[in-house]
Amino acid sequence: MGRLMTITLAAGKGTRMKSKLPKVLHQVAGKSMVQHVVDTAKRLEPIHNIVIVGYKGELVKENTKGELKFIKQEKQLGTGHAVMQAKEQLKDFNGTVLVLYGDTPLLTERTLNNLIEKHENQEAAVTILTTKLDDPTGYGRIVRNLEGHVTKIVEDKDTTKEEAEINEINTGICCFDSELLLKSLAKLDTDNAQGEYYLTDVAGILAEEGKLVTAVVADNYEETIGVNTRSHLAKAEKTLRLRICEEHMTNGVTIIDPNNTYIDSEVEIGQDTIIYPFTFIEGKTKVDDEVVIGSQCRIKDSFVGKRVEIESSIIVESEIGAATVIGPYSYLRPGTKVGKEAKVGDFVEIKNSEIGNGSKVPHLSYIGDTTVGENTNIGAGTITANYDGKDKHRTIIGDNAFIGSDSTLIAPLRIGDNATTGAGSVVTKDVKEGDIVIGVPAKSMD
């Protein structure tokens, strides 16, 4: 592959989305549409990865990550006008320019590599990515000559009766020779139904000049279609999630029901993990090997170690060590770290706390801002009272401690190794190593 520049058009408002958010920032499989596009573009290794922004451009810029050059299109006067905004960059570049759209999150690297390869092998002036639809209404039509070369692209509103019957449509994605593109942009006009500068007119200009304009038909039309409505967004979501599930299954993950399993695009899952239906695995979650994730779980931006079992629980920004059992109906909030071979049981909420190896919080407890040592048992109904109405305070519980059922631990508090609290105790003072305290307030039995 030769020198490459990518230009992603992301300036439109997307009025049909009926949203205050720019269209390209709506998410598909846990990532904005435009982020999907620029990430795919990055894998093509372009010299310049440019994004044209317009409506709420600063918001798009703030929420789109990567080594990107953002250029503002002050007025949205068409796709040709959008590419004109990169004129200065085009002047200093010699190679292939790939124009992408920020509302096509399903595009694959394979399809784009095929487009670029055929463009460069044929030394074409323009190579258009096309697809065929049973109902092409609303899309620009590809007009070819007898030799099969493209002579022009006609927007739907500008078609004649004969052109409207053509079912090969323009996806908008094109490769250009950079020098010819720059020259042709200067020749665009607004003599069309929309009164805009159409990038598609570049193909007609170059064809009239005798330059080679070719097209590549995409194997899968779904990946080329832009998202313009909430209905389109839902269809894109379903398509991408099924693709993600298929990829994980290919890599050795068992997914019982892919149609009812929701895995974000940046999630990593190890071999021999089993995932049951109605599970959501989101963000940058990493799941190790041989994990069992039962039905109705939500796991976000978390790490799950080997051989962990999770049932009907919510886990957010947390870490779980190997061979630990979570759930059912546990809630692990941000900052939670659970060690190896531990247990967090039903109706337990843990926030910003560390649970040591082999320790158990079996049921009906709230553990907040707490450090629990190894092989400690937290009885049912235990609460760490971490908030005094103004500040949060920390509780520290040592190794091999036994916290009786219905204990209330008033932070700041330290309970030593091998210490015990009696059932129903309200502990307001530190408990020494090996001591036993009971009562309200709890007192030592010594």
Catalytic residue positions, numbered: 363
390 labelled binding-site residue:
no
323 labelled binding-site residue:
no
11 labelled binding-site residue:
yes
170 labelled binding-site residue:
yes
155 labelled binding-site residue:
yes
3-state secondary structure 273-288: CEECCCEEEECCCEEC
405 labelled binding-site residue:
yes
271 labelled binding-site residue:
no
193 labelled binding-site residue:
no
Between strands 126-132 and 168-177, the pairing is: antiparallel
73 labelled binding-site residue:
yes
12 labelled binding-site residue:
yes
Q: Identify any residues that bridge with 176 across adjacent strands, giving them in sequence order.
A: 97, 126
Please name which of 349, 356, 360 lies closest in space to residue 383, comparing C-alpha atoms: 349
220 labelled binding-site residue:
no
Q: Are 202 and 188 in contact (CB under 8 A)?
A: yes
366 labelled binding-site residue:
yes
Q: Identify any residues that bridge with 287 across adjacent strands, giving them in sequence order.
A: 269, 304
The DSSP letter of residue 159 is -
400 labelled binding-site residue:
no
103 labelled binding-site residue:
yes
- Give dist(CA 324, CA 347) in Å, integer: 16
Please name which of 112, 108, 83 lies closest in space to residue 9, comparing C-alpha atoms: 83
Q: Which helix (H) or strand (E) holds 144?
A: strand 141-144
Runs of H (alpha helix) within 43-135: 57-62, 79-84, 87-91, 109-121
289 labelled binding-site residue:
no
186 labelled binding-site residue:
no
Angle, in degrees to the nearest 10, between helices 33-42 and 109-121:
50
79 labelled binding-site residue:
yes
380 labelled binding-site residue:
yes
Long-range Cβ contact pairs of 431-438 (< 8 A, separation 24 or more): 433/398, 438/404
Please name which of 395, 438, 402 lies closest in space to residue 417, comparing C-alpha atoms: 402
Total Cβ atoms within 10 A of residue 17: 20
384 three-state secondary structure = strand
CA angle 220, 226, 232 (to 5 degrees): 95
> Locate tokens 């085009």: which residue?
90
Q: Which residues are annotated as a binding site for Mg(2+)?
A: 103, 228
Binding residues for acetyl-CoA: 380, 386-387, 405, 423
Residue numbering of the annotated binding site: 9-12, 23, 73, 78-79, 101-103, 140, 155, 170, 228, 333, 351, 366, 377, 380, 386-387, 405, 423
Residue set of the binding site for UDP-N-acetyl-alpha-D-glucosamine: 9-12, 23, 73, 78-79, 101-103, 140, 155, 170, 228, 333, 351, 366, 377
